[in-house]
């Protein structure tokens, strides 16, 4: 018998804890960006240049700030969880590329890479039964 195997019956509770924790942190991380206005959005949106998209950086920055803030709220609630997880995984991919492109190295990009992997995995797993999306 594996150690702590009895916790297996609480998978939905685990998913709820992950969703709440990540949701709150992304709201806290994205909200100041959202309030930063066009100048801040332009700086954030400039990261799309890492994939060759250099037009409308203000719009891309606003979308990233909305993805983190509203996506964090949706994720916390378990509302549209899978599409939200994919959007946040893409946002973290761009953040990772920005760090790597800025010369921060793997350690500088590691947080965005790790969270992106978590969101990508959660897109497959789903929100669990304690969510608005429950089935």
Q: Give the chain's mean pLDDT.
A: 94
- 57 within domain boundaries: yes
Q: Write the pLDDT tens digit of every residue in 76-114.
A: 999 999 999 999 999 999 999 999 999 999 999 999 999
Do the domain assignments include residue 24? Answer: no
Predicted local confidence at residue 76, as pLDDT: 95
Please provide the DSSP assignment of the chain as one string. --TTGGGGGGHHHHHHHHHHHHHHHHHHHHHHHHHTHHHHHHHHHGGGGGGT--S-HHHHHHHHHHHHHHHHHHHHHTSSHHHHHHHHHHHHHHHHHHHHHTT-HHHHHHHHHHHHHHHHHHHHH---SSSTT--
Per the structure, the count of domains in the chain is 1
d(CA 116, CA 55): 24
Q: Is residue 90 part of a domain?
A: yes
pLDDT of residue 2: 85
pLDDT at residue 1, rounded to an integer: 63
Q: Mean pLDDT throughout 65-76?
A: 96
Residue 123: pLDDT band (50, 70, 90) is very high
Residue count of the chain: 135
Q: Domain of 46?
A: 31-125
Whether 35 is in a domain gets the answer yes
Q: Name residue, tokens 């990009």.
A: 109
- The pTM score is 0.92
pLDDT tens digits, 44-68: 999 999 999 999 999 999 999 999 9
Angle at 10 between CA 8 and CA 15, to 5 degrees: 110
pLDDT at 135: 62
Is 8 a residue whose pLDDT tops 90? no
Does residue 74 lie within any of the structural domains? yes
């Amino acid at each position: 018998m594996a150690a702590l195997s009895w916790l297996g019956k609480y998978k939905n509770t685990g998913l709820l804890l992950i969703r709440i924790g990540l949701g709150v942190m992304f709201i806290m991380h994205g909200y100041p960006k959202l309030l930063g206005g066009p100048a801040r959005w332009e700086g954030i949106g400039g990261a799309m240049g890492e994939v060759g998209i250099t037009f409308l950086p203000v719009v891309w920055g606003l979308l990233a700030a909305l993805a983190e803030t509203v996506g964090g709220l949706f994720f916390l609630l378990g509302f549209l969880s899978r599409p939200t997880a994919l959007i946040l995984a893409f946002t973290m991919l761009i953040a990772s590329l920005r760090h790597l492109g800025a010369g921060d190295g793997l350690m500088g990009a590691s947080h965005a890479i790790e969270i992106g992997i978590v969101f990508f995995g959660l897109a497959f797993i789903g929100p669990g039964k304690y969510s608005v999306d429950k089935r």
